[in-house]
Amino acid sequence: MSVVNVLFLVICMTIDFKEQEIIMERVKALLKGEERFALVETYGCQQNVNDSQKYEGILQKMGYTLTDDREKADFIMFNTCAVRDRAEKKVLGNIGALKHLKAKKPRMVIAIAGCMSQQESVEKKIRASYPHVDMILGTRAMADFPRALEAVLVEKKRVINREENDCVLENVPTNYDGGCKAFVSIMYGCNNFCTYCIVPYVRGRERSRSMEAVIEECTLLAKRGVKEITLLGQNVNSYGKDMGMTEGFATLLGEVDKIDGIERIRFMSSHPKDISDEVLSVMANSKHICHQLHLPLQSGSDKLLKEMNRVYNREKYLSIVDKAKKLMPDLAITTDIIVGFPTETEEDFEDTLDMLKTVKYDSIFSFIYSKREGTPAAKMEFAATEEEIRARFDRLLSVQNDISYELNKKCEGEVQEVLVEGMSKEEGILTSRNYANKIVNFKGDESLVGKIVKVKITRAQTWILIGEVCG
Ligand code: SAH
Ligand code: SF4
Ligand code: F3S
């Protein structure tokens, strides 16, 4: 373990995963060369998807073969999300369903990791009602995974690690899936404490990876044939602040843009309170950064934005959009919206609809507010009934569908570069993404997968574009 940054009394430790190699070898020896299968099921955001690829990489290194089949698996991990109640209920239901599988195959090891398992209340629930769960790992316990698995296999005892620390892991074996796109986490945690959100409680404070480590990973991915990289963090615009950098994210973007072979760069999420002019200008002047910005709004009401602790208002948000569109007239903007925040009135909701119509988002990710115990919003009284909130949600989707269709319609006749991801469900039809991350389907064969192709858009639908290869 080495201390890489001591700044303003904040100590961020970097743990080199190579230190776990001896334990990983020991676990491999325990499996005695017998084929054992492992399954990691992921819930939640891209950062969790990226963590799961690391858990899979570690399992492969310890001798496991990956499978999608729960019946076949000797090791099952649920990498969980706590952001909304529905995701939590689904996981608990799925853990319950594993009971009979474990009864049939006693050597099966069951683990839960990720944001749900970081919570004390979940640990209590598992202890009380799910005796078949062998391992609970919090969001900062990945370095301890090989030891925990060894303890479960050898001592046949349950292992729990929900330690809170400010560590960043490097050199973690990762199961990059071999596709043309990859996620790269550039920072962990969140300092913002939006009043509805559980993330800062379960993911801890912001910790940035070193710029060298991020560049090294992106370079390695480029060598493996990855064409598109999405840089991940809860608030990428504050990348490097914990290391004393100003404009750390703009600098990082500029450096990733220089890597040979990386043809497209995206990033998320971008908190409006922290996005700098420099980031927008690096985007506009870069060769490879897609002119696409995910800029979560959450609500269009100034009153609600204040109560949500978002630290910007409509005016500030619109001024960012304005600046960005002046620099990049073709910019595609997407956002996150919460409907039914406790104090939301009809008037507040109409302010949100008004923002949708003003900004004209290419698409939105919309969520009905879910109460998270321990957050300030959990104590607030509701101003609307469940029925009213449902109806608002439907109205929001309908307004946005019209906007998405209108924007897609404008693409008809355009020639766009798309990155081909694979065959679609329809025979002979490829599925790809344009710079705006919109799906473009067109006729073609497998030889185009992983390539950037020029396609003429022939027809717009609400969610996807249809095209044909340009001759
Ligand atoms: N860090 C990102 C968001 C991560 S969570 C950002 O600030 O943009 C992804 C989205 O989930 C949030 O943008 C928000 O729209 C939604 N979300 C978070 N907490 C929620 C809650 N309690 N109920 C409903 N949606 C929530
Ligand atoms: Fe949650 Fe806000 Fe942090 Fe995003 S910025 S993870 S919404 S607290
Ligand atoms: Fe969910 Fe954790 Fe991501 S709560 S949204 S998996 S950071």
What the block records as the tokens of 366 is 């919309």
DSSP 359-394: H--SEEEEEE----TTSGGGGSPPSS-HHHHHHHHH
pLDDT of residue 12: 66
Chain-centroid distance of CA 168 in Å reads 17
What the block records as the tokens of 287 is 């060769």
Asked if residue 269 has its Cβ within 6 Å of ligand 1, the reply is: yes
Confidence of residue 5 (pLDDT cuts 50, 70, 90): very low
Task: For residue 51, give the DSSP letter.
Answer: H
Asked if residue 47 has its Cβ within 6 Å of ligand 2, the reply is: no
Strands 439-443 and 429-433: antiparallel
Proximal ligand: closest to the CA of 114: 3
Given strand 2-7, what is the order of strands in its sheet? Answer: 2-7, 10-16, 167-170
Ligand 3: nearest atom to the Cα of 47: 3
pLDDT digits (tens, 9 = 90+) for 53-72: 999 999 999 999 999 999 99
Distance set, CA 360 to CA 273, 367, 401 (Å): 20, 18, 11
Closest CA to 138 of 190, 97, 82: 82
Confidence of residue 11 (pLDDT cuts 50, 70, 90): low
Domain range summary for the chain, segments of one domain joined by +: 34-167, 173-409, 415-469
Chain-centroid distance of CA 21 in Å reads 28
Contact 16, 4 (CB under 8 A): no
CA–CA separation, 82 and 85 (whole Å) = 7
34-167 adopts what CATH topology? Rossmann fold (3.40.50)
Proximal ligand: closest to the CA of 310: 2
User: Which of 79, 199, 294 for a ligand 3 pocket mutation test, highest count of atoms within 8 Å of Cβ?
Assistant: 199
CA–CA separation, 300 and 338 (whole Å) = 10
pLDDT digits (tens, 9 = 90+) for 239-258: 999 999 999 999 999 999 99
Domain 415-469: homologous superfamily in CATH: Nucleic acid-binding proteins (2.40.50.140)
Separation of CA 246 and ligand 1 centre (Å): 26
What the block records as the tokens of 265 is 């760069």
pLDDT digits (tens, 9 = 90+) for 204-241: 999 999 999 999 999 999 999 999 999 999 999 999 99
Percentage of the chain exceeding pLDDT 90: 94
Q: In this structure, which residue's CA is closest to atom 2 in ligand 1?
A: 234
Proximal ligand: closest to the CA of 47: 3
Percentage of the chain exceeding pLDDT 70: 97
Q: In this structure, which residue's CA is closest to atom 2 in ligand 2?
A: 194
**Is the backbone of residue 12 left (phi > 0), alpha (psi -120 to 50) or beta?**
beta
Asked if residue 271 has its Cβ within 6 Å of ligand 2, the reply is: yes
Q: What is the pTM of this model?
A: 0.95
CATH of the structural domain 173-409, one choice from 3.80.30.20, 3.40.50.720, 3.60.150.10, 3.90.1300.10? 3.80.30.20
